[in-house]
Amino acid sequence: MSDERRLQETPQQIFAREEEPVDGVYPETVQPPRRRFAGALSWARENLFSSVGNALLTVFGLYLLWRILPPLADWTLLQSVWSTDDPAVCKAAEGACWALITQKYRFILFGLYPFEEQWRPALATALFIAAGAITAVPAFWRRALIGLWAGVAVICAILMWGGVFGLPFVENAKWGGLPLTLILAVVGIAAAFPLSIVLALGRRSELPAIRAVCTGFIELIRGVPLISVLFMASVMFPLFLPEGVTIDKLLRALAGIALFTAAYLAEAVRGGLQSIPRGQYEAAEALGLTYWQKTGLIILPQALKISIPPIVNQFISMFKDTSLVIIIGLFDLLTTAKAALSDPPWRPFYIESYLFAALIYWMFSFFMSRYSLYLERRLETGYRR
Amino acid sequence: MMDEQRAAERQAATRDAEPAIRLEGVHKWYGSFHVLKDINLMIRRGERVVVCGPSGSGKSTMIRCINALEAHQKGRIIVGTTQLTEDVRTIERIRREVGMVFQQFNLFPHLTVLDNLILAPTWVRRLPKREAIARAMDLLERVHIPEQAHKYPGQLSGGQQQRVAIARALCMKPEIMLFDEPTSALDPEMIKEVLDVMVELAEAGMTMICVTHEMGFARTVADTMVFMDGGAIVEMAPPSQFFSAPKSERTQKFLSQILKH
């Protein structure tokens, strides 16, 4: 079609017009989008060698990989020793001494728990992880979960302490390794989370006294390092107790961790609360909902959903921070990984031991991270368009 | 003629009805800013009042005082036979009887349409869930969107959301409905579907106070027009008189501005 004819068209004609091919090629608007990556070669050209700078960076990157990967594979897999009870064999080898893990894994995982009884913390941990896995599936989100967790808590307590059903009693000073880390993290989170919601709501309260108490607590706790909180809980707190009264060390550590985490979580929750528009409060109020109905049914569900990323961030951070209990003499996973090296002939293989502990920490943290992403998508109801 | 006849009939119908809302010498300040100045207004059962006025004239603030979303500092507000006080119990009792529809809909985005409707009846009125659902579906039918019951508000158009908001307020079986610029946030195409629902509601005999600039709607349903400016009621008259022979110069100017188009 000539340009002149085009200019004389009425709108009706323009809409009715079908694009005609010009020399067998349709005008650009109706062509399918150009395929940008046809084959690996052109992909590489477009992404890795699009300019001189990029090409140099690509070559440099490849060089680094070439320098790093083969030695790493050598050390971790090809030249490593997987099982021996003789440290000398490890010493002679070039690679990693994974034999340390196969020799010492029970100590790293369960610490000083009596060797013959270690099936008990193992079973407790397995039960606990199973309950966690069930809870993670939305299809199981119903009231019965509370019962499940209560049951799991009782069974785990019986398994860990014993003293009934013919299980020998094991005092909690002997607990250690992964179960202890999980107890600190999960009981800590379970206590800190509700407390943090109360603190966040309190900090936004219209009552000055409540607001002052909550703000004061949050700012005080956030102002000191976790180590000092733990230290106070462990060393100073007993000094204030009347003579003869003792509170278990593990319990004191848990309280310290929970209070510390609650202060941080409260700020994450407060962020969520602040992002809820005023209209939501007004709509809830106009319907005659009470303060607690409004908060529990309208505000918190939305605020907590928004706060998932910072909340999970805090969970992950506190999960790893539980390793600080070493300073008050609790044998958590990182401490047992270190203590496994106290056997002199195995002492040189500290990297392997720490890597093993790191892998366990990483698996739990990575799960939390991915799960929080899943949860965010799952709870999305399409109002952020 | 039709209008006048209708108005006369309406007046006869509501003249002797009991008062539903009384505002007596109501004042409100934001800090030192005097937002409401000596508001006196009585609305009888079944009466439909349309409030108009320039922005900042205090019309929204006035109706928000009726269900205590805003506190007034002086004067009395009596809803039914209950005088509004600062007591939380009293406020909650009044809010149960007064439905409100907002400019921004304010639906609860984390709940489905149906859950939005049954939330207050089940929690505040302690209605059994089955009854609440039946009532909610009935109301969704009345606002012409029963098929949207299981969607989330974010999946609906603005007009549909506002109709859900009306149904949500009605689900509490309120005595009185307050509308705070219900069509101001809507695309022109959707205004009609919301106004139609409001007209139907008015015809069913609901006591309504409506802040709106939809003058066509006002002419159709209003028994009384209220014009506010600068925090005070400037003129109050039946629509026939209000639109054809406004007394105050300020009203004339306002009407000439908004009716020009």
Model pLDDT for residues B4-51, shown as the tens digit of each residue: 666 666 666 666 778 889 999 999 999 889 999 999 999 999 899 999
The average confidence (pLDDT) of chain A is 82
Give the tokens for residue A117: 């009884």
Q: Are strands B207-211 and B48-52 parallel, antiparallel or unpaired?
A: parallel
What does the pLDDT read at residue A26? 57
Q: Which contacts (CB < 8 Å, 24+ apart) does range A134-138 have? A: A136/A371, A138/A378
Widest pairwise Cα distance in chain A: 104
Nearest to A280 among B69, B108, B120 (CB): B108
Q: What is the pTM of this model?
A: 0.79
What does the pLDDT read at residue B1? 45
**Which one-letter DSSP state was computed for residue A218?**
H
In Å, how far are B25, B34, B74, B234, B235 from B39, measured between CA atoms?
5, 12, 10, 10, 12
Q: Which residues of A touch B95 (CB under 8 A)?
A: 285-288
What does the pLDDT read at residue A241? 73
Nearest to B108 among A288, A293, A298 (CB): A298
Cβ distance A302 to B154 less than 8 Å, yes or no, reads no
Neighbours of A317 (CB within 10 A): 13
What number is the ipTM of this complex? Answer: 0.90
How many residues comprise chain B? 261
Cβ distance B106 to A279 less than 8 Å, yes or no, reads yes
Q: Which residues of B touch A385 (CB under 8 A)?
A: 154
- Distance to chain A for B7, nearest Cα, Å: 31
Instruction: Indicate the pLDDT class of residue A24, thresholds 50, 70 and 90.
Output: low
3-class DSSP state of A248: coil
Q: Mind listing the pLDDT tens digit for each residue in B136-150?
A: 999 999 888 899 899
Residue A325 pLDDT greater than 90, yes or no: no
Find all residues with CB under 8 Å of A208, minimum gap 6, and list them.
Answer: none
Domains of chain A: 3-67 (no CATH), 105-374 (1.10.3720.10)
Nearest to A383 among B120, B152, B168 (CB): B152
In Å, how far are A37, B12, B125 from B131, measured between CA atoms?
59, 36, 11
The H-or-E segment that residue B39 falls in is strand B33-44
What does the pLDDT read at residue A33? 65
Using CA atoms, how far apart are residues A272 and A189, in angstroms rounded to an integer? 18
Interface of B with A (CB under 8 A): 67, 69, 88, 92-93, 95-96, 98-100, 102, 104, 106-110, 119-120, 123-124, 152-155, 165, 168-169, 172
Using CA atoms, how far apart are residues A330 and A336, in angstroms rounded to an integer? 10
Residue pair A293/A283 in contact (Cβ under 8 Å)? The answer is no
Torsion of the alpha carbons at A76, A78, A80 and A83, rounded to the nearest 10: 120
Neighbours of A94 (CB within 10 A): 11
Share of chain A above pLDDT 90, in %: 18
The average confidence (pLDDT) of chain B is 88
What does the pLDDT read at residue A340? 77
Residue B118 pLDDT greater than 90, yes or no: yes
Of the ranges A15-29, A123-137, B87-101, the best mean pLDDT one: B87-101
What does the pLDDT read at residue A9? 64
Residue B229 pLDDT greater than 70, yes or no: yes
Q: Which residues of B touch A301 (CB under 8 A)?
A: 110
Instruction: Indicate the pLDDT class of residue A277, thresholds 50, 70 and 90.
Output: very high
Test the A interface: residue of B106, B113, B166 with most A CBs within 10 Å: B106
Nearest to B119 among A282, A285, A297 (CB): A297
